[in-house]
């Protein structure tokens, strides 16, 4: 393994991810582990040069103070304790500064002088390590990949193609909740341009039937996630000899699905919804990367820019943008309005500027007037946000002319819609998606 690593033990400190990012920004790899990791587990990790134990108000969970195991201190690896009473560590600090740059400055002497870590965390080394790890994990077995065509799964596909070539079987499932033109594009790019072993399955009807009358967002996610895995299992059975399932899980998915010390925000289907009878072992080479790092990885493994810089798209797709129980008319309306929004953003050069932009259709109607008669139709909500890592987000300040142009087109071209709104809410308090 090429890279040194600093380990952050998770006592619920809200700065944990910022600390991890700050260490990586210093050129040293870092990962966050549960606070109760054993010394044996810690020693099994490659090249750990230092440990950060960070307390804060959340290290009281359900009335109990949680702490790291005593054996971690004095194990020979330097420990930095912040806001956490512990006498036996190498360095102590009372609190973290507010911004990431200051955190970075503060960490520098610990990382380099105390831990003597080498600044050897970079994409080529990360990729070389992941290739080695994947080859070690997989051997000569076959891996099935859920290739949605989004940034994460595309980067996984390209990385795995480098690691194991034709042992990788990509399956693109059209769950009926994809954007306009998307399945066609995935087939074109991966089969024709990247020469991947790709199976295309149109399972739209099957998904939409399962989702009929299901209004609860978490339930919808679980159904979509579970059905996804079932489709893959069926494909695997047809193929024979598939032992592994690759997934584009990234770090924010894991953090937001809840750790021992962080409350769950919402379950992301690639973490929370796996059925219990799952027969595959998982391969998740991006699970420690933040979104911006995933893109850098994509560039490094040679994916076309259009794919790497494309906006993220959630696994459950338009299913969580067609609010409440999905109906086919509203699903088509969300698909059409999203296509209009994307086209107008591209024309205006906003597609490379805005991090994520899409439309939402709620499950209620409002009164309007069309051709001098009363109409009772659905609204379309526009969402356009900027963020670095999807943990917080701000709203793009769109100019009126483009908002008017998009509104005009949606009202003229999308049947069943009589109103367009722009969502001004940042995250928090809103999340990026509406469900
Ligand atoms: P939220 O809505 O949680 O979204 O602020 C943060 C980012 O995650 C995406 N997202 C998902 N991705 N499965 C995914 O793979 C999901 O269930 C899911 N829910 C949200 C969202 O689009 C945004 O980029």
> 403 alpha carbon to ligand 1 midpoint, in Å?
24
431 touches ligand 1 (CB under 6 Å)? yes
* Nearest CA, atom 17, ligand 1: 268
Class of domain 123-308: alpha beta
What local confidence, expressed as pLDDT, does residue 189 receive?
83
314 touches ligand 1 (CB under 6 Å)? yes
Assess whether the region 5-114 and the region 123-308 belong to the same CATH fold. yes
> 214 alpha carbon to ligand 1 midpoint, in Å?
19
Residue from 254, 357, 432 to probe ligand 1 pocket by mutation (most atoms less than 8 Å from CB): 432
Ligand 1: atom nearest CA of 358 is: 22
56 touches ligand 1 (CB under 6 Å)? no
What local confidence, expressed as pLDDT, does residue 59 receive?
63
Annotate 294-325 with DSSP letters as a single string.
HHHHHHHTT--HHHHTSPP--TTGGGGTB-SS
- DSSP, collapsed to helix, strand or coil, labels residue 151 as helix
* Nearest CA, atom 12, ligand 1: 314
Query: 249-265, pLDDT tens digit by residue?
Result: 998 777 655 555 544 44
Say which residues have a Cβ less than 8 Å from residue 219's Cβ, sequence separation at least 6. none
What local confidence, expressed as pLDDT, does residue 269 receive?
40
What is the spatial distance between Cα 166 and Cα 142, in angstroms, rounded to a whole number?
A: 8
* Residue spans of the chain under pLDDT 50: 262-275
Q: In terms of CATH architecture, what is 5-114?
A: 3-Layer(aba) Sandwich (3.40)
225 touches ligand 1 (CB under 6 Å)? no
CA dihedral of 160, 161, 167, 171, whole degrees rounded to 10: 80
> 81 alpha carbon to ligand 1 midpoint, in Å?
33
Peptide bond into 266 cis (omega under 30): no
Ligand 1: atom nearest CA of 427 is: 5
> 433 alpha carbon to ligand 1 midpoint, in Å?
6
What local confidence, expressed as pLDDT, does residue 274 receive?
44
Residues 4-20 as b/e (b if ≥16 CB within 10 A, e otherwise) read: bbbbbbbbbbebbbbbb
**Whole-Å CA distances, 253 to 73, 136, 237, 249, 351:** 30, 25, 28, 6, 24
433 touches ligand 1 (CB under 6 Å)? yes
- Pick the closest to residue 338 from 195, 193, 212, 180 (CA basis): 180
What local confidence, expressed as pLDDT, does residue 273 receive?
42
* Nearest CA, atom 9, ligand 1: 314
* Nearest CA, atom 11, ligand 1: 314
Query: 335-381, pLDDT tens digit by residue?
Result: 999 999 999 999 999 998 999 999 999 999 999 999 999 999 999 99
> 205 alpha carbon to ligand 1 midpoint, in Å?
24
315 touches ligand 1 (CB under 6 Å)? yes
Query: 113-127, pLDDT tens digit by residue?
Result: 999 999 999 999 999
> 314 alpha carbon to ligand 1 midpoint, in Å?
5
What local confidence, expressed as pLDDT, does residue 267 receive?
45
What is the spatial distance between Cα 215 and Cα 213, in angstroms, rounded to a whole number?
A: 6
What local confidence, expressed as pLDDT, does residue 61 receive?
64
Residue spans of the domains in the chain: they are 5-114, 123-308, 321-422
What local confidence, expressed as pLDDT, does residue 171 receive?
93
Query: 167-203, pLDDT tens digit by residue?
Result: 999 999 999 999 999 999 889 888 988 899 999 999 9
* Nearest CA, atom 21, ligand 1: 314
* Nearest CA, atom 16, ligand 1: 268
CA 373 to chain CA mean position, Å: 45
Say which residues have a Cβ less than 8 Å from residue 350's Cβ, sequence separation at least 6. 357, 384, 396, 398, 402
Q: What is the fold, at CATH topology level, of the domain defined by 321-422?
A: GMP Synthetase; Chain A, domain 3 (3.30.300)
> 137 alpha carbon to ligand 1 midpoint, in Å?
28
Ligand 1: atom nearest CA of 269 is: 17
């Amino acid at each position: 393994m090429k890279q040194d690593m600093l380990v952050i033990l998770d006592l619920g400190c809200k700065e944990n991810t910022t600390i991890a990012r700050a260490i990586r920004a210093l050129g040293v790899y870092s990962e966050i582990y549960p606070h109760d990791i054993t010394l044996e587990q810690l020693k099994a990790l490659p090249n750990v040069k230092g440990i950060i134990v960070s307390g804060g108000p959340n290290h009281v969970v359900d009335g109990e103070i949680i702490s790291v195991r005593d054996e971690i201190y004095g194990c020979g690896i330097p420990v930095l304790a912040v806001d956490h009473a512990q006498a036996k560590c190498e360095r102590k600090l009372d609190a973290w500064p507010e911004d990431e740059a200051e955190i970075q400055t503060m960490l520098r002497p610990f990382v380099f002088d105390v831990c003597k870590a080498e600044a050897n965390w970079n994409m080529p080394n990360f990729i070389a390590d992941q290739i080695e790890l994947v080859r070690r994990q997989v051997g000569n077995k076959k891996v099935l990949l859920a290739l949605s065509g989004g940034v994460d799964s595309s980067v996984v596909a390209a990385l795995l193609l480098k690691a194991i070539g034709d042992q990788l079987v990509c399956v693109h499932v059209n769950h009926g909740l994809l954007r306009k033109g998307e399945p066609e594009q995935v087939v074109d790019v991966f089969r024709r341009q990247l020469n991947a072993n790709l199976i295309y399955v149109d399972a739209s009807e099957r998904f939409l039937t399962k989702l009929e009358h299901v209004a609860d967002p978490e339930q919808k996610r679980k159904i979509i996630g579970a059905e996804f895995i079932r489709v893959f299992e069926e494909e695997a059975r047809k193929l024979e000899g598939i032992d592994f399932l690759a997934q584009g899980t990234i770090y924010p998915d894991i953090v937001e699905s809840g750790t021992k010390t962080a409350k769950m925000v919402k379950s992301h289907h690639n973490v929370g919804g796996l059925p219990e009878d799952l027969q595959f072992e998982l391969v998740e080479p991006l699970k420690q990367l933040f979104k911006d790092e995933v893109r850098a990885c994509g560039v490094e493994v040679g994916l076309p820019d259009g794919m790497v810089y494309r906006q993220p798209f959630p696994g459950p797709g338009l299913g969580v943008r067609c609010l409440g129980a999905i109906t086919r008319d509203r699903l088509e309306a969300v698909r059409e309005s999203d296509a209009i929004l994307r086209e107008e953003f591209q024309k205006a050069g906003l597609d490379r500027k805005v991090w994520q932009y899409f439309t939402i259709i709620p499950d209620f109607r409002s009164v309007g007037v069309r051709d001098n008669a009363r109409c009772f139709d659905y609204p379309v909500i526009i969402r356009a946000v900027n963020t670095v890592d999807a943990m917080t987000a701000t709203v793009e300040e769109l100019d009126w002319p483009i908002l008017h142009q998009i509104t005009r087109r949606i009202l003229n071209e999308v049947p069943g819609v009589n109103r367009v709104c722009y969502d001004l809410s940042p995250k928090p308090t809103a999340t990026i998606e509406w469900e």
